[in-house]
């Protein structure tokens, strides 16, 4: 059939296009067409003449398969042909979206190459498969010779469930199963906060409030009204936002340890299973926010210190204030290091995970825009849970597939997402739990 070669050569030429061709054949025997490896048809439509009939067939995530779209589907599914049919059929193939080969799409070779440490943060909307993708990537790195650490920064941790091992406790825990060392760490915000409090206690305080008190600022809120200090200041006193931010910084303090501590120096790949979008964005913007807040606190302290001696006496010892100021300065420096790490294209990448629904795609688009704004490098988009091809969809699956195609189409046309490498991951029919299942999923996704 002349059309076959037209389709075949065109499919290799571009990632998104429409192919039209004319086939003339009798439906018996049905025509089968072998698709090039890893070609993904998002939509394929055909019409017949005479009489003019049209139908749409779709197969998402096809890989090196024979598809009996013409004779088979026409006959069985759409009733276009019958035994007495003869004549010409004009097929118009409209290939709206064709993914490149999976190998090229995921670019795992690039992810795995080199022994310099790299950080991968996987994030997206709740429930799309962030943990499964992060854990499967970590297993894949470990099986490829990288001592790997997988870290959960999601307060609702599910790494333990995903690996089917107890990884709780907020410390490094070895994961059993992979060929090379794989460790997991579920950052426990409560425990981190406790450690932070203890650290503050050692220096004579009893928590974040005392940390602020140490700065001579803890009483400000209480005293402001009385002393009318507000009139002396052109910026508002540090309040709840800063206190909360500093306590949240505990998570960032753990990240800082990756940079500084010997305990973590062995790891050449660190994979983060992040919290759903909102949390993660706040976390990523925290270094800048803290930089500004700490700057504000220090500036404020200077102003207060040089106000009046009567006011100075309200705020206690100069030494304590200086100590706290030094600590804040140190914290600020470390935060800035973390910020630089988040933005370093050579060592860090944020992988967005989504599913093919309009809602998830819209959120991913916003996430991508926000990450861009924060200058966090993003290259890859995993579209998880795509229905695998099936020769005969039930009504529910057909509807679902149509929705998924619409969402995939949206990705192709989204200004924030279309430039990312799209990695399509099928919905698999086994529960992704435990190292063997994660290896199975990882071998499909990270090629
Ligand atoms: N490709 C897939 N095929 C089949 N099941 C999957 C796939 N990806 C994820 N799942 C399943 O979907 C569920 C949610 O996955 P997962 O916990 O990885 O999502 P999450 O985005 O990390 O969720 P949360 O936001 O709640 O942390 C799990 O039961 C997981 O096994």
Q: Whose CA is nearest to atom 2 of ligand 1?
A: 427
Active-site annotation holds for 154: yes
Is a pLDDT exceeding 80 seen at residue 174? yes
One-character DSSP codes across 199-217: HHHHTT--SHHHHHHHTT-
Which of 61, 133, 432 is the best mutation target for the ligand 1 pocket, counting ligand atoms within 8 Å of the beta carbon and taking the most? 432
pLDDT attached to residue 101: 37
Contact 148/180 with Cβ under 8 angstroms?
yes
Least confident interval from 41-55, 104-118, 344-358: 41-55
Q: Is the CB of 287 under 6 A from ligand 1?
A: no
- What's the pLDDT band for 143 if we cut at 50, 70, 90? very high
In this structure, the strands spanning 118-124 and 348-354 are parallel
Q: Whose CA is nearest to atom 31 of ligand 1?
A: 432
Question: Which residue's entry shows tokens 């994961």?
Answer: 175
> What φ, ψ does residue 94 adopt, rounded to 5°?
-115, 100
Residue 145 alpha carbon to ligand 1 centre in Å: 26
Tell which atom from ligand 1 comes closest to the C-alpha of 429.
4
Residue 27 alpha carbon to ligand 1 centre in Å: 43
pLDDT attached to residue 390: 82
Active-site residue (options: 82, 109, 154, 222): 154
What CA–CA distance (Å, rounded) separates 269 from 418? 27
Question: Which residue's entry shows tokens 């499919």?
Answer: 11
Is a pLDDT exceeding 60 seen at residue 24? no
Asked casually if ipTM beats, i.e. exceeds, 0.95, the reply is yes
Mean pLDDT for the stretch of residues 71-93? 36
What CA–CA distance (Å, rounded) separates 290 from 276? 21
Is a pLDDT exceeding 70 seen at residue 76? no
Nearest to 268 by CA among 123, 148, 445, 92: 148
Is a pLDDT exceeding 50 seen at residue 223? no
Q: Is the CB of 131 under 6 A from ligand 1?
A: yes
* SS3 per-residue string spanning 329-359: HHHHHHHHHHHHHHHCCCCEEEEEEECCCHH
Q: Is the CB of 154 under 6 A from ligand 1?
A: yes
Tell which atom from ligand 1 comes closest to the C-alpha of 124.
21
pLDDT attached to residue 195: 56
Tell which atom from ligand 1 comes closest to the C-alpha of 426.
1
One-character DSSP codes across 349-392: EEEEEE-SSHHHHHHHHHHHHHHHHTT--EEEEEEEEEPPP-SS
Tell which atom from ligand 1 comes closest to the C-alpha of 133.
18
Is a pLDDT exceeding 60 seen at residue 148? yes
Residue 228 alpha carbon to ligand 1 centre in Å: 54
Q: Is the CB of 280 under 6 A from ligand 1?
A: no
Is a pLDDT exceeding 60 seen at residue 57? no
One-character DSSP codes across 152-190: E--SS--HHHHHTS---SSS-EEPSSSSS-EEEEE--HH
């Amino acid at each position: 059939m002349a059309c076959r070669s037209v389709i075949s050569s065109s499919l290799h030429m571009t990632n998104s296009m429409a192919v039209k061709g004319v086939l003339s054949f009798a439906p018996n025997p049905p025509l089968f067409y072998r698709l090039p490896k890893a070609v993904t048809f998002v939509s394929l439509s055909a019409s017949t003449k005479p009489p003019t009939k049209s139908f749409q067939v779709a197969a998402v995530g096809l890989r090196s398969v024979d598809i009996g779209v013409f004779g088979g589907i026409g006959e069985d599914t759409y009733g276009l042909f019958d035994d007495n049919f003869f004549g010409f059929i004009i097929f118009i193939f409209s290939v709206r979206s064709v993914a490149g080969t999976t190998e090229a799409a995921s670019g795992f070779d690039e992810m795995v190459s080199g022994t310099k440490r790299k950080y991968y943060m996987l994030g997206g909307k709740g429930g799309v498969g962030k943990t499964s993708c992060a854990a499967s990537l970590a297993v894949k790195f470990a099986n490829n010779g990288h001592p790997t650490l997988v870290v959960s920064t999601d307060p609702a941790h599910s790494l333990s469930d995903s690996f089917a091992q107890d990884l709780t406790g907020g410390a490094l825990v070895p994961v059993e199963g992979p060929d090379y060392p794989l460790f997991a760490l579920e950052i426990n915000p409560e425990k981190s906060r406790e450690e932070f409090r203890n650290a503050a206690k050692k220096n004579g305080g009893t928590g974040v409030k005392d940390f602020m008190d140490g700065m001579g600022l803890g009483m400000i809120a209480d005293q402001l009204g009385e002393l009318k200090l507000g009139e002396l200041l052109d910026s508002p006193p540090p309040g709840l936002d800063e206190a909360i931010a500093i306590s949240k910084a505990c998570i960032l303090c753990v990240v800082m340890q990756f940079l500084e501590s010997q305990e973590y120096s062995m790891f050449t790949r660190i994979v983060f299973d992040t919290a759903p979008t909102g949390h993660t964005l706040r976390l990523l913007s925290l270094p800048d926010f803290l930089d500004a807040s700490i700057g504000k606190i220090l500036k404020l302290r200077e102003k207060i210190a040089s106000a009046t001696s009567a006011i100075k006496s309200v705020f206690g010892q100069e030494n304590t204030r200086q100590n706290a100021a030094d600590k804040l300065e140190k914290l600020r420096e470390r935060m800035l290091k973390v910020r630089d790490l988040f933005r370093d294209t050579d060592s860090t990448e944020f992988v967005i995970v989504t599913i093919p629904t309009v809602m998830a795609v819209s959120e991913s688009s916003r996430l991508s825009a926000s990450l861009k704004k924060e200058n966090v490098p993003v290259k890859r988009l995993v579209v998880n849970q795509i229905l695998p091809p099936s020769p005969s969809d039930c009504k529910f699956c057909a509807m679902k597939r149509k929705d998924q195609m619409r969402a995939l189409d949206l990705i192709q046309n989204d200004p924030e997402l279309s430039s990312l490498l799209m990695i399509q991951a099928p919905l698999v029919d086994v529960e992704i739990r435990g190292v063997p299942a994660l290896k199975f999923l990882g071998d499909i996704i990270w090629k």
